[in-house]
Every structure is written in structure tokens, then in C-alpha cells.
Amino acid sequence: MRFKGVVTTGKQRGDVIEYTPKEKLEACLRVALTKHPDFLDCFLVHVKAVSSNPPTVSGKGDLLKGLWQNNHYLGDGQVTVARRCLKRDQVLQPVKLNFTLAFEDTLQENGLPDFNIVSLDLLPA
């Protein structure tokens, strides 16, 4: 489940608060980096800083369950990643990378909003 929070007061109590497109980009980037083939087998990664433009949003169809966004997103920018090498048990210098991330809105099996990572391209900054 990937959402900002839950309304705690008023008539909408219990409703899901969705991320903005820029917040979705940053949350999706954090997940995508941990699953990227460059880091998957030998590094633990932690995002230290992200600087990006607001992502490009294009509609995919009707709202999911009539409540949540259903869009494709394309964002780019620069990210600073701290790495820890698992094989040598070393903390390495953070690296700056340029990224291009494509993702889309989906639903999890329990019907709450989530996102699907389509692609992540990384280049040295």
C-alpha cells in the first residue's frame, strides 16, 4: 500500500489520502532503487537527497474504484544514493545519479492504491 495517510476527523474519517504526483515520484524512486539490478545483489541503498522536476502525468483511464488516480507518470532528476556493500561490509561514498523513472497507478490485491514501476534508467551525474 502506498498512500500518504488516512483522514482522522470529520465526515471523511477513514478515507485514504493519496500522494501528490511529486510525492509519488519520490516514493516510487526509493522502491525502484532497492530493486534495481545495479544494487540488488551486493548493496543496501538509502536515498539521501532527490532533486526533480514535477513528473509528466498522462491519464490512463477512469479513476481506480472511482476514488483514486489512474495515471502514467514520467519523471527525471538527480538523486544522491548512500550505499553499503554487503560482501565486504563497507559503507561506500554516496553517489549522484541522474534518473528517469516511469511508473503507473495500480491497486493492490486488497483494493488500496499502489504504483507499478515500469522502468528506471540511471546514469552517472
What is the number of structural domains in the chain?
1
User: What's the confidence (pLDDT) of residue 19?
Assistant: 84
SS (H, E, C) 19-88: CCHHHHHHHHHHHHHHHCHHHHCCEEEEEEEEEECCCEEEECCCCECCCECCEEEEEEEEEEEEEEECCC
Predicted confidence (pLDDT) at residue 57 exceeds the cutoff of 60: yes
Mean residue pLDDT across the chain: 88
Domain carrying residue 73: 5-124
Q: What would the mean pLDDT of 77-90 be, rounded to a whole number?
A: 92
**In angstroms, rounded to a whole number, what is the distance separating the alpha carbons of residues 89 and 3?**
34
User: Phi and psi for 106 in degrees, rounded to 5?
Assistant: -145, 180
Would you state the pLDDT for residue 1? 56
pTM of the model: 0.84
